[in-house]
A and B are shown apart, each in its own frame.
Chain A
Amino acid sequence: MSFESYIPSGPIEQKWDNYKAEQKLVNPANKRKYKVIVVGTGLAGSAAAASLAELGYNVSAFTYHDSPRRAHSIAAQGGINAAKNYQNDGDSVWRLFYDTVKGGDFRAREANVYRLAQVSESIIDQCVAQGVPFAREYGGYLSNRSFGGAQVSRTFYARGQTGQQLLIGAYQALSRQIGLGKVTMHNKNEMMDLIVVNGKARGIVTRDLVTGKIESHIADAVLLCTGGYGNVFYLSTNAMNCNVTAAYRAYKKGAFFGNPCYTQIHPTCIPVSGDYQSKLTLMSESLRNDGRIWVPKTQGEARGAAEIPETERDYYLERKYPSFGNLSPRDIASRAAKEACDDGRGVGPGGKGVYLDFADAINRLGQSTIEERYGNLFEMYERITGENPYKVPMRIYPAVHYTMGGLWVDYELMSTIPGLFVLGEANFSDHGANRLGASALMQGLADGYFVIPYTLANYFAKGGIEKIDTSIKEVRDAQQQSTEKIQSLLSINGKRTPTSFHRELGKIMWDKCGMARNEKGLSEALIEIPALREEFWQNLTVPGSGEQLNQSLEVANRVADFLEFSELMVRDAVERRESAGGHFREEYQTPDGEAKRNDEEFSYVAAWEYKGEGSKPELHKEQLEFENVKLATRSYK
């Protein structure tokens, strides 16, 4: 088991170049002899599968969706960052790097972030070449907007559907390779387990969601591009099917899990409306370019927004953080909203909301400009709430959105299991303790288009991958265990539905390991989660069989992993006795309520190792070295 980050030598500007100069390569004629499995076909997975197939590797891609075009990358609205400096406003690779490290509250690995900033420019070029219809100015040049946590305009966008357009671009590149016979696509197939042979990742076990057939697939390397685990909270902005199963089962096979407690709560989501709620809807951060966030100054205000005069409104972000104002980073904006609502000044049903008001922008720019910029978002808001945001301010509240934690990877994006690479949101790599807006799309595509094509070659060229087939014991065992797992879920015959357990788990996590955490709540969660898990295995009911499309079984299989993984998250949150980015421990704050880091003791990546059922996982620490950025208290004032 290797636990070494393998950061290349040299000054930070040259590390990636040095790596590429020194890495081993695979001869073009030999590439087709290597088989690569890609799990997940979002931005990272589609980009990787397409790029590797173009290079000549023999690729098999898997998704539980009915088509690779559906992954949740598609829902990203606002945009993608790149250090193009087309606006002549002072941007550079260095500044994007610096903003990302600072935005991540100094808990990310410098070398990875610098590489991300470097390749960001190529991503835009690649996407334009694929025909991604980015927004343009009248002169025909690419348009940019601003985003939280940055003082330059470096965000490229396609209306409010940037994620969709980037994913369609990657999907089309992947489709081309499928059509050419270079990628074998397996839709409606969910990964059940990772196959490890002689310490190397050598394949996966899958379940066909339509026929129920459980199969093993062998390869020379496995890429997990399976997204984040925000749905551990049940309610989140993630799609309904997002889950931790692939990553968690890899963890149980020996891949370390990095910083599981780092979750991002997005400040601008539509508030919860009732118990039946199945998911939360994000309103893009880009709205904060023109919308002003406020709550009434007085507690328990009964008047509607329009009746509250200007002098009785508290534009709290503008007041507390004058230099970034409404574009303060997500963790800070979310906590400020919680603070206002906890203070009894929230608006809407239950007082769980704040206003996002466009009245000033509409007066200044005219309704047509606002419509042009955000029309589809305003429509979506009206559809969900029945209120017209051109007339009354939107009501928003923070919601779980993204997970910075993920499987631990080294500079080459390889996990602690040789041959298992982890890309995109599924890894822990680039965002530290908090991700800045428009950086997830950038990271997913950077990993898929511009990092893995290099680092995978280096792994293959080192050799030592022996020939195996599906008849060996490790493969048969993994397949047998997956089959038994499905059978056990079907045979409990209890009374409660899989979703009811998921909802209950989500409530524990939101209350005790959500926007603010403390030792007491976390300790309670460590008792409540195992109890709920025990009930799950005694009182679950899943109707139907395992031999056909059975959506309750799919949910049960994923909830079973959330019920274990959540405990790891809480454990990590307990151990991190500091506040950093999205991880806010109430015991560690400054007198004015800001997050208080403890660089002396906690400037490390927490990498957890599975130690078997019933045993405590072991914490390993990767010390973070900041050679280029000076550690400072993050200030947006």
Chain B
Amino acid sequence: MNLRLHIWRQTGPSDHGMLRAYNVNNVSEHMSFLEMLDVLNEELIEKGEEPVAFDHDCREGICGTCGMVINGRPHGPLSRTTACQLHMRSFKDGDEIYIEPWRATAFPIVRDLVVDRSAFDRVIQRGGFVSVNTGNAQDGNAIPISKIDADVSMDAAACIGCGACVAACPNSSASLFVAAKIGHLVALPQGKAEAATRAMSMVLSMDAEGFGSCTNHYECEAACPKGISADFIAQMNREFMKSVF
């Protein structure tokens, strides 16, 4: 198939940036979306032009490195699918495709489609862990954990930290990301001891990083490649309230 791409080009954080159009021809339906961009980039380099910068690494949908808004949707048209796992069979000959970076104040653009998501790391550093030093642990089976609790915890822990939730939210809220971490840890007995301080400090840190507030649009849940439920946001709010009173 032949495609016309409109890609956001921006040389650095202070540049204004703009959409530029490119043609890519003879695209196979078996290519991944990123492989299609690889083909474009190889052509650009051969012409002496600078290739489109985009973040990617595992190309298996698990590392959370890749992320771009494709035709208005973070990670593109397939639900529960990262951009690297999106394949060109989701498109057809003659399609025009708009490709843009995540847009959020807390995620400044580094170059083209690459954004700086270090705000996520800083939020985790404020409490997204269990305070246990190496060597402290008792036997792994010492505390039985019901399968239901373990499963709920895993549902939340599946977050890959890609930032699609922020990109999808009209308020650029990081609530789903933060709630997933709180939900992962509070479901387990190991995470309960610090539940109050964790909720308080992560929520405050999220606000301080410049993420917006949640006003229940549920766009995050729809965009999340791991299908993390917005129910965790309700739980986060509950944990936060509990930490206040």
A, B from the same assembly? yes
Contact surface of A with B, Cβ cutoff 8 Å: 47, 50-51, 54, 65-72, 74-75, 84, 86, 122, 124-131, 133-142, 158-159, 161, 163-165, 168, 171-173, 175-176, 178-179, 185, 187, 210, 239-241, 273-274, 276-279, 281-282, 379-380, 383-384, 386, 449-450, 453, 495, 497, 499-500, 541-544, 548-549, 551-552
A125→B135 CA distance, assembly (Å): 9
Chain A residues, CB < 8 A from B185: 131
Chain A residues, CB < 8 A from B125: 175-176, 178-179
Contact B147 A548 (CB under 8 A): no
Least Cβ–Cβ distance between A619 and chain B, in angstroms? 35
A520→B29 CA distance, assembly (Å): 38
Known contacts: A130-B132, A278-B32. The answer to whether A142 contacts B141 by CB under 8 A is: yes
Chain B residues, CB < 8 A from A122: 135, 137
B residues 50-72 touching A (CB-CB < 8 Å): 50-51, 53, 55-65
Contact B87 A239 (CB under 8 A): no
Known contacts: A67-B120, A380-B85, A549-B110. The answer to whether A500 contacts B42 by CB under 8 A is: yes
Contact B132 A65 (CB under 8 A): no
A165→B160 CA distance, assembly (Å): 10
Chain A residues, CB < 8 A from B91: none
Chain A residues, CB < 8 A from B64: 69-70
Chain B residues, CB < 8 A from A383: 61, 78, 81, 85-87
A544→B187 CA distance, assembly (Å): 49
Which of A140, A142, A239, A542 is close to B59, meaning CB atoms less than 8 Å apart? A239
Interface membership of chain B positions 110-125, coded 1 if the CB is closer than 8 angstroms to chain A and 0 otherwise:
1100101110110011
Known contacts: A129-B137, A158-B154, A453-B134. The answer to whether A67 contacts B51 by CB under 8 A is: no
B residues 153-200 touching A (CB-CB < 8 Å): 153-154, 157-158, 160-161, 184-185, 187-188, 190-191
Contact A54 B134 (CB under 8 A): yes
Contact B134 A552 (CB under 8 A): no
Chain B residues, CB < 8 A from A158: 154, 157
Chain A residues, CB < 8 A from B191: 131
**5 A-B pairs with the lowest CB-CB distances in the bound complex, closest first:** A140-B144, A179-B125, A172-B129, A129-B137, A125-B137
* 30 contacts across the A-B interface (CB closer than 8 A): A51-B133, A54-B133, A65-B57, A66-B117, A68-B121, A70-B63, A71-B63, A126-B136, A128-B137, A129-B130, A129-B132, A131-B129, A131-B185, A134-B150, A135-B154, A136-B150, A140-B146, A140-B147, A158-B157, A176-B131, A239-B58, A276-B28, A276-B35, A383-B81, A386-B30, A495-B46, A543-B44, A543-B49, A549-B53, A552-B51
Least Cβ–Cβ distance between A243 and chain B, in angstroms? 12
Contact A240 B117 (CB under 8 A): no
Chain B residues, CB < 8 A from A279: 59
Least Cβ–Cβ distance between A515 and chain B, in angstroms? 22
B residues 26-44 touching A (CB-CB < 8 Å): 28-32, 34-36, 38-39, 42, 44
Is residue B11 within 8 Å, beta carbon to beta carbon, of the partner chain? yes
Is residue B138 within 8 Å, beta carbon to beta carbon, of the partner chain? yes
A240→B116 CA distance, assembly (Å): 19
Is residue B17 within 8 Å, beta carbon to beta carbon, of the partner chain? no
Is residue B89 within 8 Å, beta carbon to beta carbon, of the partner chain? yes
Which of A86, A140, A380 is close to B61, meaning CB atoms less than 8 Å apart? A380
Least Cβ–Cβ distance between A127 and chain B, in angstroms? 8
Known contacts: A129-B137, A383-B85. The answer to whether A278 contacts B34 by CB under 8 A is: yes
Contact B60 A159 (CB under 8 A): no
A277→B59 CA distance, assembly (Å): 11
Is residue B145 within 8 Å, beta carbon to beta carbon, of the partner chain? yes
A274→B45 CA distance, assembly (Å): 21
Contact A133 B188 (CB under 8 A): yes
A543→B51 CA distance, assembly (Å): 8
Least Cβ–Cβ distance between A553 and chain B, in angstroms? 11
A163→B111 CA distance, assembly (Å): 30
Is residue B128 within 8 Å, beta carbon to beta carbon, of the partner chain? yes
Contact B87 A138 (CB under 8 A): no
Known contacts: A278-B34, A383-B81. The answer to whether A543 contacts B50 by CB under 8 A is: yes
Known contacts: A67-B118, A125-B139, A277-B35. The answer to whether A548 contacts B11 by CB under 8 A is: yes
**A183: nearest residue on chain B (CB-CB)?**
B125
**A551: nearest residue on chain B (CB-CB)?**
B53
Is residue B94 within 8 Å, beta carbon to beta carbon, of the partner chain? no
Known contacts: A175-B121, A274-B30. The answer to whether A161 contacts B137 by CB under 8 A is: no
Known contacts: A130-B132, A179-B125. The answer to whether A67 contacts B50 by CB under 8 A is: no
Contact B35 A131 (CB under 8 A): no
Contact A133 B150 (CB under 8 A): yes
Which of B62, B137, B147 is close to A75, meaning CB atoms less than 8 Å apart? B62
